[in-house]
Amino acid sequence: MINKIRKLAEATRKLIDYRMVWRWHFYAGLICVPFIIVLSITGPIYLFKPQIEAAIDARYDNLAFDGLPQAAAAQIAAAQAAVPGASFRSLEVRQNTHDAARINLQSKGEKIRVYVHPQSLAILKQVPEEARFMAVVKTIHGELLSGRTGEIIVELAACWAIVMILSGLYLWWPRQAKGLAGILWPRFGLGKRLFWRDIHAVTGIYVSAFAIFLLLSGLPWTFVWGGAFKEVRKLGQPAATQDWSQGRSGERTAANNEGGRPVDLTYVGGMVDMARGFDLPAPVILAAPTKGNLWKLSSETGNRPQRVTLMVEPQMLEVISRETFGDKKVLDQVIGVGIAAHEGQLFGWINQALGLLTALGLVTLCVSAVVMWWQRRPTDTLGAPALLPDERLGPGLGVLILVLAIVLPVLGLSLMVVALIERLILRRISAARAWLGLTA
């Protein structure tokens, strides 16, 4: 009799834990599904940034003309004449001398890219850097076109997405399954509800690891987590420059703070020729000094482990310093590899394909979740799993939530806000309490 009571108590506890995790999963999805769909659409576009930008700029490549191109200094002067008062910041070193010159200028706190015909010096195109297609996609992906507020919303959605995935794995975990159908592949012909349940569960198990990697590798860009990480990082390497920014707002602030000053363009042609001889991974950027007299020649390839940065003395064409990925601190190397993989540039088209499949999987999870909710939605409540009597947070789940709240501060803060709103407001309003499933 005692054993039966213990087994019943254990079964009850497991049911309570399951229902509690199910509620967490439900509300996590409710919070982040709209944003995950936006990120899963814009993210794959950015994965193919090199190919897309090459297609957009194809009309300015390999231009037909007779004779030699004009000197680099003349091309820069033509670009500055097209944007009065602008200062020269950088140019992209193209291996093909028949490609239009891509010259970046700074004008009234804004970066402008000017395309110059290398021989006639005609202005083929000029566009603010922030208005370029991939920059717009990146802004939507990183801040939802809402500045710092949007960055925090994206970070919050990413944190709750981690909760959604972890709770989903707990719910998926086979307990009394007979066979692998419905676990590793969906079952067909057993009704729409079971079909969509299987699509949701099976897709989740295949994309969860990749999705969590994408979410975690995106955290260094965020405002709150990334800002805190930046301060912690300084403790071990105060002199090392961080080569990623805290979100799109941080990138724009850094760009606007660069300022501009007149620079001597006498030796820029020699530096361009020298850069072509190094055959660095494209795109290769030659940037004017913001202080001192050394120019910066760098490979800005998306595959960060292949990046190289040279500091060049212009008059003697002498490389004063050279920094490769291997020269960076181990922590920066780890972050760099994560960022390269996140952007789909670490190991070629396979990296891009994995990112695309993961994004498609996340969209499938979101769509199937909405379909399942719609099929089972009650008429008078939201449809969240209702509270059970004697429901309380188990020690294991409590520790996990505490760890996540500490590691992901935006998540922890949102948990406290939600808890206060629930305890002080929602539970005191009978209609809201019933609609949200807060009544045992």
How confident is the model over 68-123, as pLDDT tens digits? 999 999 999 999 999 999 999 999 999 999 999 999 999 988 999 999 999 999 99
Q: Strand pairing partners for 125? A: 115
Domain ends where: 299, 330, 361? Answer: 330
Half-sphere exposure (Cβ direction) of 217: Cα atoms closer than 13 Å: 21
Contact 284, 271 (CB under 8 A): no
Do residues 203 and 323 both lie within one domain? no
pLDDT at 158: 94
Inside any domain, residue 148: yes
pLDDT > 90: what percent of the chain? 61
Helix locations, 224-347, DSSP H: 224-236, 247-257, 268-278, 330-342
List the structure tokens of 239: 């002199």
Bigger pLDDT: 7 vs 157 = 157
Q: Which residue has the tokens 């699509």?
A: 199
Do residues 127 and 145 both lie within one domain? no
Alpha-carbon distance 114 to 80, whole Å? Answer: 9
Do residues 161 and 29 both lie within one domain? yes
Inside any domain, residue 55: no
pLDDT at 7: 63
* pLDDT tens per residue, range 14-29: 666 777 788 888 888 8
Mean pLDDT over 319-342 rounds to: 94
* pLDDT tens per residue, range 177-224: 677 787 788 888 888 888 999 999 999 999 999 999 999 999 999 999
pLDDT class of 12 with cuts at 50, 70, 90: low
Do residues 116 and 185 both lie within one domain? no
Cα dihedral 241, 247, 250, 255 in deg (nearest 10): 80
Do residues 68 and 90 both lie within one domain? yes
pLDDT at 11: 61
Contact 119, 69 (CB under 8 A): yes
- 385 cis-preceded (ω within 30 degrees of 0): no
Candidates 148, 40, 158; CA nearest to 414 is: 158
Domain of 270, in residue numbers: 63-131+258-330
The least confident of 54-63, 65-74, 362-371, 392-401 is 392-401
Q: Is the pLDDT of residue 150 over 70?
A: yes
pLDDT class of 260 with cuts at 50, 70, 90: low
For the chain, the domain total comes to 2
Bigger pLDDT: 383 vs 271 = 271
pLDDT at 261: 73
Do residues 12 and 143 both lie within one domain? yes
Do residues 23 and 77 both lie within one domain? no
Inside any domain, residue 245: no
Contact 57, 283 (CB under 8 A): no
Candidates 221, 212, 211, 240; CA nearest to 331 is: 240
pLDDT at 399: 85
* pLDDT tens per residue, range 423-434: 888 888 888 888
Inside any domain, residue 336: no
Contact 120, 135 (CB under 8 A): no
Do residues 166 and 200 both lie within one domain? yes
pLDDT at 428: 86
Do residues 357 and 325 both lie within one domain? no
Inside any domain, residue 18: yes
Q: Is the pLDDT of residue 228 over 60?
A: yes
pLDDT at 9: 56
Q: Is the pLDDT of residue 308 over 80?
A: yes
Do residues 39 and 114 both lie within one domain? no
Inside any domain, residue 344: no
Do residues 118 and 145 both lie within one domain? no
Do residues 161 and 37 both lie within one domain? yes
pLDDT at 75: 97
pLDDT at 393: 67
pLDDT at 48: 97
pLDDT at 270: 96
The least confident of 10-24, 223-237, 324-338, 344-358 is 10-24
Contact 211, 161 (CB under 8 A): yes
Q: Containing H/E element for 416?
A: helix 409-424
Half-sphere exposure (Cβ direction) of 209: Cα atoms closer than 13 Å: 3
DSSP 86-149: -EEEEEEE-SSTTSPEEEEEEETTEEEEEEE-TTT--EEEEEEGGGSHHHHHHHHHHHTTSHHH
pLDDT at 74: 97
